[in-house]
């Protein structure tokens, strides 16, 4: 009936109002935290599976709110994207990570890689390439030691722009990795056009990777795909030795995960690196 419809409608908008208010509140808090320099970055080592030796790190953003609680990036990154805050925050992450790489190389780690997540709104921004160039020149790092992690879904929204941008990034010498690979339904022909350097197998396929499982078959297929396209491959979310061993059997020799190291603040990273030199 008509009255049912109306009450449904009010219920719906009230719920939406709560959600929008909550998002707006979080957006203001995030902006304030960013301006007060209360966001920080942790670094998770990426290692050679056999030796456990690190060859790079991934920069991961952290936000501790006024109550000292950590808000997971999965919650605040979407808000940063949606509000456009990600453009400035992302630039800060990239620059900070580049300067951190300089520190790491001063510790004796040459040819070390820094992987930085780049979200869609940031990548599509008209000034992104300029910002990237500035981060490289200001820090003085070698472009081939920087790796941008983008997602498959990003490439699907505006393939032409993405391909054009990727080509320019490649000309600069910066590397590109496809994050969460296998979850985004990009076609193989698209993958070939993107000319990326690396596939990062999503954690979902690593969880139950042991031989014989569906997840295992998918991980194996991604590893074989990377071999035939001559791309590098890394597995994320490796938590136990069985997963690590299976990956090696499948031909994947690079991993990131709690088995090897959790994300660390920079001082903990320095001491961890010194023990793993
Ligand atoms: P991601 O890029 O897939 O990052 C990997 C996530 O897996 C990280 O979560 C990391 O802490 C977690 N992880 C690593 N090893 C293990 C493991 O062995 N087991 C389990 N269970 N988890 C593991 P985190 O730091 O919470 O980040 C979540 C997501 O937030 C990231 O997923 C990324 O999409 C996004 N993110 C983080 N920092 C940034 C940033 O600076 N910019 C952008 N655009 N996104 C970011
Ligand atoms: Ca990532
Ligand atoms: Ca990932
Ligand atoms: Ca993931």
Averaged pLDDT, groups of 10, the chain, 277 residues long = 50 68 92 96 98 97 92 95 96 98 94 96 95 98 97 82 93 96 77 88 89 83 94 97 95 98 97 93
* ipTM summary value: 0.98
Q: What's the CA gap between 224 and 221, in Å, rounded?
A: 5
Is-contact 120 76, C-beta < 8 A? no
Atom of ligand 1 nearest to the CA of 74: 30
**193 C-beta neighbours (distance < 10 Å), count:** 15
The 10s digit of each residue's pLDDT in 156-198 is: 778 888 999 999 999 999 999 999 998 876 677 778 788 899 9
* Bridge pairing between strands 113-117 and 70-71: unpaired
* Bridge pairing between strands 39-48 and 254-256: antiparallel
Is-contact 138 95, C-beta < 8 A? yes
* pTM of the model as a whole: 0.93
Distances in whole angstroms, Cα of residue 204 to Cα of each of 114, 224, 239: 23, 18, 12
Would you state the pLDDT for residue 192?
79
Quote the ligand 3 centre to 185 CA distance (angstroms).
15
Q: Whose CA is nearest to atom 32 of ligand 1?
A: 74
Q: Whose CA is nearest to atom 11 of ligand 1?
A: 263
Which residues, including other chains, have CB under 8 Å from residue 53's CB and lie 6 or more apart? 47, 276
Atom of ligand 1 nearest to the CA of 239: 18
């Amino acid at each position: 009936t008509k009255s049912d419809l109306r009450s449904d409608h009010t219920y719906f908008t009230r719920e939406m109002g709560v959600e929008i208010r909550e998002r707006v509140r979080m957006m203001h808090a995030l902006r304030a935290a960013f301006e007060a320099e209360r966001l920080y970055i942790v670094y998770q080592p990426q290692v050679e599976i056999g030796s456990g030796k690190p060859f790079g790190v991934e920069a991961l953003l952290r936000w501790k709110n006024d109550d000292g609680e950590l808000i997971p990036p999965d919650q605040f990154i979407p808000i940063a994207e949606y509000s456009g805050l990600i453009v400035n925050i992302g630039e800060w992450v990239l620059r900070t990570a580049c300067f951190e790489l300089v520190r790491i190389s001063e510790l004796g780690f040459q040819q070390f890689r820094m992987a930085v997540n780049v979200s869609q709104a940031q990548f599509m921004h008209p000034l992104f390439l300029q910002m990237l160039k500035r981060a490289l020149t200001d820090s003085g790092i070698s472009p081939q030691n920087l790796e941008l992690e983008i997602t498959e879904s990003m490439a699907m929204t505006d393939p032409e722009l993405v391909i054009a941008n990727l080509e320019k990034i490649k000309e600069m010498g910066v590397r590109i990795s496809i994050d969460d690979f296998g979850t985004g339904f990009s076609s193989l022909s698209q993958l070939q056009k993107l000319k990326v350097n690396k596939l990062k197998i999503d954690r979902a396929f690593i969880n139950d990777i042991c031989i014989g499982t569906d997840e295992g078959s998918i991980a194996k297929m991604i590893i074989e795909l990377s071999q035939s396209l001559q791309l590098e491959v890394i597995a994320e979310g490796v938590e136990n030795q069985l997963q690590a061993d299976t990956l090696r059997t499948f031909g994947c020799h690079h991993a990131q995960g709690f088995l090897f190291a959790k994300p660390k603040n920079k001082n903990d990273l320095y001491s961890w690196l010194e023990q793993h030199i």
